[in-house]
């Protein structure tokens, strides 16, 4: 009995360590995640307050009587975010997404009186620059639950699209299901289209069902059109299904396919604004995030729900999703093999 156990134990270990792609992924992936988090969250400590600044954030200068307001911009644990659009910035103050909005050139600041954090930041500002004039705003607070909902639904759609298509096709190929289908009159384009339409229906239907049930339970903040939200969900799901097809276009190894899919999903989970806003992150990180389908899906859905944005105002994200879908499908069709590499 012990010999049989040891033989199986040894065989499984050799199988794993001889699979170079799987071995490399298990070593490299955690390292990449740690490096990514070190860049994103690098700093002396987590910011406790968020302050919007109209225009450029004033540079830190030597303290003088005429430049005392610069002391405010040196405060630790306060995150300063620059805005060019005053209406967008004031809306974020109304919704408690920004604790205070400051206009350094006009010596003015905007405050939502119902914001507890805003009260404390106001005292810090007036302590450094008492000459600033206050403009009072009001508005309904957006709960974190309202803000995070598009990210959670988008993340769920991402996993369903990528693993529900990519991983399944690789398993079909490995088990020779695709080889048998190749012997039938079925064309590759028919197989791919069937996979796309089937998964698209399942993903959008399930996401809509979850949204309706959760909305009934929690009464989500919704300013925009439900139709626009459905269209954005449709485009986002189509784009990520296409990406899943691309990941599974040739591989026969479930381990390699799982590694490739994880390599795609984890950066999107971290950089697409699912759990936290990317405002204030380094500019190069925000640029990388714009290359991810989930970023455009989550940002668009969040803008529709919390800001009442229409599709024309979201045209950049809509065209980005359509463009990425076209690229992914084209590459998938070119690279697709019934039996994978080496067959």
Q: Which long-range contacts (CB under 8 A, 24 or more apart) does 74-80 make?
A: 75/124, 76/44, 76/45, 77/45, 77/46, 77/47, 77/48, 77/49, 78/47, 78/48, 78/49, 78/50, 78/51, 78/121, 78/124, 79/47, 79/49, 79/50, 79/51, 79/280, 80/51, 80/52, 80/53, 80/280
Position 170 scores a pLDDT of 80
H or E stretch covering 151: helix 144-161
Instruction: Output the tens digit of pLDDT for each of the chain's 343 residues.
Output: 666 656 766 665 666 566 665 555 556 655 565 565 555 555 555 667 888 898 888 775 444 445 556 678 888 888 888 888 888 888 888 877 788 899 888 889 998 887 888 888 888 888 888 888 898 887 666 777 778 888 888 888 888 888 878 777 887 777 777 777 777 776 777 777 777 888 888 888 888 888 888 888 877 878 889 999 999 999 999 999 989 888 887 776 676 777 778 788 888 888 888 877 777 667 788 888 889 999 999 999 998 988 888 899 899 999 999 999 999 988 887 877 776 554 4
Which of 269, 262, 271 lies closest to 244 in space, CA to CA? 262
108-112 and 78-83 as β-strands: parallel, antiparallel, unpaired? unpaired
Going along the chain, which residue ranges are E strands?
A: 49-54, 78-83, 100-103, 108-112, 133-137
pTM metric for this prediction: 0.69
Position 39 scores a pLDDT of 59
Torsion angle of C-alpha atoms 316, 328, 201, 259, degrees rounded to 10: -110
Domain ranges in the chain are: 2-40, 49-137, 144-335
Position 126 scores a pLDDT of 86
Position 82 scores a pLDDT of 86
What does the block give as tokens for 188? 């590759």
Q: Which residues of 38-69 are buried (b: 16+ CB within 10 A; e: fewer)?
A: eeeeeeeeeeebbbbbbeeebeeeeeeeeeeb
Position 65 scores a pLDDT of 45
Which of 23, 4, 87 lies closest to 52 in space, CA to CA? 87
Q: Which residues of 311-331 are buried (b: 16+ CB within 10 A; e: fewer)?
A: beebeebbebbeebbeebbee
Position 28 scores a pLDDT of 62
The answer to whether 245 and 196 have CB atoms below 8 angstroms apart is yes
């Amino acid at each position: 009995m012990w010999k049989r156990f040891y033989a199986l134990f040894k065989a499984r270990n050799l199988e794993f360590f001889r699979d170079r792609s799987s071995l490399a992924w298990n070593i490299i992936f955690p390292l990449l995640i740690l490096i990514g988090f070190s860049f994103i969250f690098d700093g002396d400590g987590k910011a406790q307050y968020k302050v919007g600044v109209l225009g450029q954030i004033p540079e830190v200068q030597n303290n003088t009587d005429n430049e005392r307001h610069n002391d405010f911009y040196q405060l630790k644990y306060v995150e300063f975010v620059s805005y060019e659009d005053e209406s967008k910035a004031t809306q974020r103050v109304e919704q408690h997404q920004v604790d205070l909005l400051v206009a350094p050139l006009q010596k003015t600041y905007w405050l939502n009186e119902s914001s507890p954090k805003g009260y404390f930041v106001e005292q810090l500002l007036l302590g450094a620059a008492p000459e600033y004039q206050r403009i009072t705003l009001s508005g309904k607070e957006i709960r974190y639950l309202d803000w995070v909902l598009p990210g959670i639904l988008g993340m769920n759609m991402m996993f369903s699209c990528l693993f529900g298509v990519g991983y399944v096709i690789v398993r079909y190929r490995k088990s020779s299901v695709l080889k048998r289908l190749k012997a039938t009159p079925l064309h590759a384009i028919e197989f791919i289209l069937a996979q796309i339409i089937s998964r698209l229906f399942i993903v959008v239907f399930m996401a809509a069902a979850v949204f309706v049930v959760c909305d009934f339970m929690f009464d989500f903040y919704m300013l925009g059109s439900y139709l626009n939200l459905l269209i954005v969900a449709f485009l986002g799901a189509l784009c990520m299904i296409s990406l899943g097809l691309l990941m599974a276009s040739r591989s026969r190894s479930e381990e390699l396919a799982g590694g490739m899919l994880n390599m795609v999903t984890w950066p999107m989970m971290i950089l697409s604004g699912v759990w936290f806003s990317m405002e204030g992150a380094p500019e190069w990180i925000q640029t990388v995030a714009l290359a991810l389908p989930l970023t455009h899906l989550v940002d668009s859905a969040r803008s529709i729900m919390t800001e009442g944005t229409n599709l024309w105002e979201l045209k950049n994200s809509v065209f980005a999703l359509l463009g990425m879908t076209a690229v992914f499908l084209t590459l998938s069709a070119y690279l697709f093999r019934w039996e994978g590499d080496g067959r």
